[in-house]
Amino acid sequence: MRDLMAIDVGGTSIKLAVWHDGKLVDEHSVPTPDSLDGYYEALESEVASAREGYPIEGVAMSSPGAPNSQTGVIESSSAIPYIHGFDIRDELARRFCLPVSIENDANCAALAEVADGVGKDATSLLFVVIGTGVGGAVIIDRKLWHGAHLLGGEFGFAITKDGRILSEVASPVSMAARYKERTGHEVTGKEVFDLAEEGDDVAADEVHTMTSTLARALFNLQYCFDPQMIVLGGGISNNPHLIPLLEAEVKDLQATLPFKTIAPTLVTCAYTSAANLRGAVENFEQTYSEVG
């Protein structure tokens, strides 16, 4: 098994680690530079340092935006504007003198679950990230399905029954914002769930709005893709009440239908902070499977 440099690029920090003997070692982070020159300098320094201790054979990267595996261009936009619009993969490969893979961060998180997380025995799954918005990834035959326009997994743009998009209704951030509009109290999504448990009627109503909308979307995704499982990620996935609430909403939905249906198998992701690093490694191995 080859040694790789794993890099997870974020808007405020860049996480790094070495993939060695089947595990991530030497995990650390550095601030995200504010210029492209600074970005190159930081990454070149980190890769050079890693090569002093390990026989690094490639660089596996997780990135915001929509990396195009055919062109090496990171499309769309992100909090790091200088990485977009040109073949950054080949430029990094030239600077490192190593093969480079770059994949979207949510896609990497999904690949981590495929590699040795909750989806290690699955051939197909959907990964749904519930955070500031709703996003995710599609895995078919243990590989990412990007779609014709790199929109595979952009579940948050699905239109809900009231004409809004899923991200506007079914994220904990939007739920907390609606609670504030109704009560004047600023709270987090977790606190809305807690308040609902304590008997707060407004909180309970907003939790129902979120979970019923999300459950309907997950039910539809099950019938669109028919995956073996739907893996839930994002901070709210740690809430032990989430999956039971979603399962109850799906059951209520099924009861309204005049035909027999199946319910999606919902599971919580295994990986948390190291998901993007682990998934970047898996993406590299799939990308360069014929080498090494």
Helix (H) or strand (E) holding 266: strand 266-268
Q: How far apart are CA 177 and CA 124, in angstroms?
A: 34
HSE-up (13 A, CA, CB side) for residue 145: 16
Return the pLDDT at 291.
Answer: 54
Query: How wide is the angle at C-alpha 64 spanned by C-alphas 135 and 222, nearest 5°?
Result: 20
Residue whose pair of structure tokens reads 């090496």 in the numeric block: 72
Strand partners, 4: 19
pLDDT digits (tens, 9 = 90+) for 47-103: 999 999 999 999 999 999 999 999 999 999 999 999 999 999 999 999 999 999 999
pLDDT digits (tens, 9 = 90+) for 160-190: 988 999 999 999 999 999 999 999 999 999 9
Residue whose pair of structure tokens reads 């030497």 in the numeric block: 26
Model pTM?
0.94
CB 219 within 8 A of CB 262: no
Return the pLDDT at 235.
Answer: 87
**DSSP, res 237:** G
Return the pLDDT at 43.
Answer: 98
As given in the structure block, the two tokens for residue 224 are: 């669109």
Return the pLDDT at 127.
Answer: 98
Which amino acid is it at 56?
I
CB 24 within 8 A of CB 277: yes
Whether the predicted pLDDT of 262 surpasses 70 = yes
Average pLDDT value for the chain: 96
Strands 66-67 and 74-75, how do they pair? antiparallel
As given in the structure block, the two tokens for residue 186 are: 């600023």
Whether the predicted pLDDT of 292 surpasses 70 = no
As given in the structure block, the two tokens for residue 49 are: 């340092």
pLDDT digits (tens, 9 = 90+) for 96-146: 999 999 999 999 999 999 999 999 999 999 999 999 999 999 999 999 999
Return the pLDDT at 1.
Answer: 79
